[in-house]
Structure 1
Amino acid sequence: MVAKGEVILLPEAPQIDGLSFRHFQGKSDYPKMIDVLQESKDTDQIEEVDSLEVLSAKFAHLNHCNPYQDMLFVEIGARVIGFSQVYWEDATHTGRRYVHEGYLVPVWRGKGIGWAMLNFNEKRILEIASTHAQNEPGVFQVKAANSEVAKTQLLQDAGYRPVRYFCEMVRPDLENIPHHALPPGLEIRPVLPEHYRPIWEANNEAMGDHWDHVDYSEEDYQFWLQGDEEFQPELWKIAWDIATNQVAGMVLGFIDEDQNTKFNRKRGWTEDICVRRPWRNRGLAHALIIETLREFKSRGMTESALNADTENLSGAFQLYESLGFHTVKTTTVYQKPIGSP
C-alpha cells in the first residue's frame, strides 16, 4: 500500500534544485491541480475552464484508477508544478488501452521533467498490465491538441504515432438556421428525471459504433448525474418513437458559462449527437441539431461548437460542415504498443 504523498525517486529525472516527486495526497491536491491545469491550458491554447467542483466529482467516480498509486506530482520546493495520471479501459472496437496524461507549467518545460513524467507513467502502466491477461497486450495512449507543441514533440520522440484525428468545429453565428422537420413517427419531449436512465442507456448503445467508444459504467452515470457541468437536461433535444416509446436519438446540448465569460463569447455546445440504429439514415440527427441551434439562439447564444471524429463512418463530419460548422482545432490520438522501446 502506497502512503499518501510518499516521495518517489526517479533516477532519470534532471538535476534541478528543489525538484521532487511524490504520490497523490488526497483532496488537498485538487486546488493545486486546478492551478497547473489552467496555467498549462492557457499557454497551450486549450480553451477550457476547470473547476474544483467538477474535478472533485470526477475523482469520486474514477474508473480503473487508484490515484494514490497511479498519479505522479512534481514539486519545486513546496509548489506543485506538474502532475500525471494513468488508467486503463477497454474500447469496444480497438481493445485495451492504457491511457496517460500529464500537465507541466510552461516555465519548467524543456528541462527533462516531462520526459521523467512520461517514463513514470509507462512504468506504472507496465506494472498494471502485468496483472492483466497477456493475450491482449494493449497500447499506451495519449491525446494532444495541435496547439500542444511541446507535448506532441515529446510523444513523437518517445515512439508514439498518430492513429486518429478529432476536431473542434464552430458555427460562428446562429443566423439563417435552416428548417428540417423530424422524421414521421418521432417527437421531441421535455426531459423528466425518469428519462435520465433511458437516455443514458440509449446514448451508450448509439455511441457504441464509434471508434473510441468505451461502454459506460455506473460510476460514469453517477458522475453524469451529480457532477458533470454538461448535465443540462433543459437544453437537450431527445427524439422519442411515438409507437414504441423508445429513445430514437438525441443531442445533449449545454452552455459553459464559465468558459463563455473567460473567452468573452456566447457559445452553446452541440454535443452527444447520436441516433440508434433502427432510426438512422432518416435525417434525425440533422433535425435534432437544428432544434439545438434554435434553442441556443433563444437563450441569447451567438455561436455553437462541437467535437467530431474526422473519420466517422456515418458521414457526420460532412453533415456538420453542411450546417455551417468548420474546423478550428484538431486533436490527435497517439498510441504505442505495449513492449515497444
Structure 2
Amino acid sequence: MTTANSLTWTPLSLEDVPALTALLNRVDQADDLGEPAEEPSTREWLTLPGRDLALDSLAVRDGDDLVAVSLADVHLRLDRDGRARCQLLGTVDPAYRRQGLGAALFEHGERRAAELATARHPGAPAVYRTSGGRDPEADSDPSAPLTGGADVRPLLERRGYRRVRSWLSMTRELPGAGLPVTDPEGARVSAPSDTEREATRLAHLAAFADHWGSAPIGEERWNMLWSSHTARRELSTIAVDRDGTVLAYVIAAEERPGVLYFALVGTRPEARGRGLARAVVARTLGAAVQAGYALAELEVDAESLTGATRLYEALGFARDAVHSTYEKPVA
C-alpha cells in the first residue's frame, strides 16, 4: 500500500539485500551498535530455512530507499518450557523514527508471528520475544537519550513487553595474558572437520536443553550457520571422546575484521566439570592469536546456570556491555 506521505509498504525480497544492508549500516552508525552489516550476511539472514518473506516480512520504502523493516520468525520447535518462540526482528532508520512506523511494524510482526505459531505449534502457549538494546553505562546521564538500540524500550513497554533477561557482552584483547595449557583426559581437542558437523549439532542440543529460552536448532539452520561466510571453522574447537561424541565446542565467526566472535560455546551436561569448556575456549583463543586477531568477543546469559561468566573471566574476558531481551505472551 502507499501512504499519504508517499511511503510504500511491501514485503522484503532478495532484491532488497543491498538496500537492507545500507539501512542496517545507517542504524548501526547512528545507534552506536558496533555491528556493521555485509551483503552476504544479509542474504543469509533473509534465506534462513522456514522463512517466507512474502508473508513474514514488511518493508517501508521512501522512493528507492528502504527506511524500516520487520520480520517475524517463529522457531520450528518448542523451547524448553514448551512454548512457541516468536522472534520479532526489525529496525527503523533514525531519520524516520517517531512517526509511528515502529508501532505499525510491531502490529504486523505480532499478527504474523501469532499465525505462524498457531500453524506450527497448535495448542502450545506462545511468547513474543525481541531485543531491548544495550543498557546505558553506569555513570551515564539518566536524562541523556538512549542509545545502542535501547530507545525502543518505551514502545515495548507501551505494548506490554517486559524485560526478562540480560546478556553480558564480554571481550578479550589478543594476545593478552598467557593461556593455560589444557589436555583433558579422554578427549581430543581440535578444530572440527566437516564430517563432525552433525555430531557438534547434537552436542549443542544437549548442552542447551536446560538453558533459559533455548529451542532445538534443526539441521537446515545448523548447516547454514556451519557454512556461513563468516564462519571460521579452523578457529572453532571441539572436544571429542573415543567414541566420536562431541563433548564440548566453540563455534567461531568473524563478523568484524580483526574480531573473532565466539558465536556458540557449550558442554554436554554429563561432561561438565572436567575442564573441557576451558580447553576448547583456550584452544580457540590460541588459534585466534596465531591468526592475528586483535580481539575476541562473546555474549553470555547474565544468569547462566553453568557459571560460564566465571570461566570467561578466568580466561581473560572482561565485561563490556549489557543487553536485554523483552517478552510478552501471545494472547
State the alpha-carbon separation in 2 of the partners of residues 247 and 172 from structure 1.
28
The question of 1:330 aligning with 2:318 is answered no
Q: Which amino acid aligns with 2:236?
A: W
How far does the alpha carbon of each residue in 1:145-186 deviate from its partner, in whole angstroms, 9 at most, with x for none? 212132122112211101111121011342222324232112
Partner of 1:231: 231
Partner of 1:252: 251
Give, in angstroms, the shift of residue 307 of structure 1: 0.9
Q: Which amino acid aligns with 1:235?
A: L
**Which residue of 69, 91, 97 maps to 2:55?**
69
State the alpha-carbon separation in 2 of the partners of residues 298 and 78 from structure 1.
44
Partner of 1:3: none
State the alpha-carbon separation in 1 of the partners of residues 116 and 193 from structure 2.
41
**Which residue of 106, 109, 117 maps to 1:118?**
106
Q: Which amino acid aligns with 2:240?
A: W
Partner of 1:31: 18
State the alpha-carbon separation in 1 of the partners of residues 193 and 329 from structure 2.
45
Give, in angstroms, the shift of residue 19 of structure 1: 2.2
How far does the alpha carbon of each residue in 1:194-232 deviate from its partner, in whole angstroms, 9 at most, with x for none? 222222222232232221322111221331244x13422
Partner of 2:139: none
State the alpha-carbon separation in 2 of the partners of residues 69 and 250 from structure 1.
36
State the alpha-carbon separation in 1 of the partners of residues 285 and 322 from structure 2.
23
Give, in angstroms, the shift of residue 144 of structure 1: 2.4
The question of 1:21 aligning with 2:9 is answered yes
How far does the alpha carbon of each residue in 1:13-51 deviate from its partner, in whole angstroms, 9 at most, with x for none? xx7622231223x22122221111111122222222322
Residues 1:111 and 1:60: Cα distance change in structure 2 (over 3 Å):
closer
Unaligned runs of 5+ in 2: 135-147
Q: Which amino acid aligns with 2:106?
A: L
The 8 Å contact of residues 145 and 329 in structure 1, kept in 2 or not, is answered as no
The alignment covers a number of residue pairs equal to 316
Give, in angstroms, the shift of residue 306 of structure 1: 0.8
1:117-196 maps to which residues of 2 (within 5 A)? Answer: 117-131=105-119, 135-146=123-134, 147-196=148-197
Q: Which amino acid aligns with 2:35?
A: E
The question of 1:88 aligning with 2:80 is answered no
Q: List structure 1 segments (4+ residues) > 4 angstroms apart after TM superposition.
A: 129-134
Partner of 2:65: 79
- SS state at 1:252 partner: strand
Partner of 1:240: 240
Partner of 2:35: 48
Q: Which amino acid aligns with 1:168?
A: S
Give, in angstroms, the shift of residue 235 of structure 1: 1.0
- SS state at 1:92 partner: coil
How far does the alpha carbon of each residue in 1:56-87 deviate from its partner, in whole angstroms, 9 at most, with x for none? 23333332x32101111112234221110112
**Which residue of 83, 87, 90 maps to 1:102?**
90
Partner of 1:299: 291
Q: Which amino acid aligns with 1:136?
A: A
The question of 1:58 aligning with 2:45 is answered yes
Give, in angstroms, the shift of residue 316 of structure 1: 0.5
Q: Which amino acid aligns with 2:60?
A: V
Does 68-77 or 271-280 show the bigger shift? 271-280
